[in-house]
Structure 1
């Protein structure tokens, strides 16, 4: 189940604690769609992630966790180290794609997997995130899908029924 902590610095962090196996496109990380979570939907030759939260920041965090969960089952990852990742974009949609692609670059270059995501600085033109996790350890982590890139295909960041929902398709 995804956990939210209001934190004392005015931001939230999100962590998946439920066993959500990678490649299970029917998996949902949060049973209550009224709070925070992510789920997968099938797209020909790709994978879609639908993530939600009370605001865009929370929905972005859930989307990032959904991406990492495709690569390895998140409960296998421990929050041992932190990495800072910044991104910019002209609006929520380009910002989300740019940020997810930066996270994928971090994974490609360092093998880093995030278990927890914080976004202490966020607006529609840029963000600063802190990822808590560890480098891939083949002895402990069971690889899932290889996520190549976030795409603009059918990309959406919307507000629905008092919550933000992001829809992102990743190339696998």
Structure 2
């Protein structure tokens, strides 16, 4: 995200960015594909791959992956909203695995810190800074690929404005395949 915002500010002289909450009106927003409104167009930029983060001190942290059955009664950091976690909960319910929330929060940063503190497991993206965290381990869930497509959503009526056109160009140039 920081890289994208830096590229936008380099491309468009004197642009003033305002980061807003998801429900606030705006010209464009970086969101998951599931969050695109009916009147918006969407340009994919990257995918976030989600894995189970567990404290490094837990015995299960020695494994290279985790089986869905092993999630039974595991204490979880419940992060909402999170499309990937919603998908995992459905997979767990289909397998009759009980989701056991230990804490309820909204941000990845809080979830990450609670895992490091040993409070519970969390579903987190495999961002480099999380992968480098010394107090946790990320493990893929066997037979389940939990991803979120992230991209630029913008009002179709403003598609040809100078600003939106320039931002679209930047998004296409930084797109990760």
TM-score normalised according to structure 2 size: 0.23
Structure with the largest fraction of helix: 2
Q: Specify the structure having the higher radius of gyration (Cα).
A: 2
TM-score (norm 1): 0.24
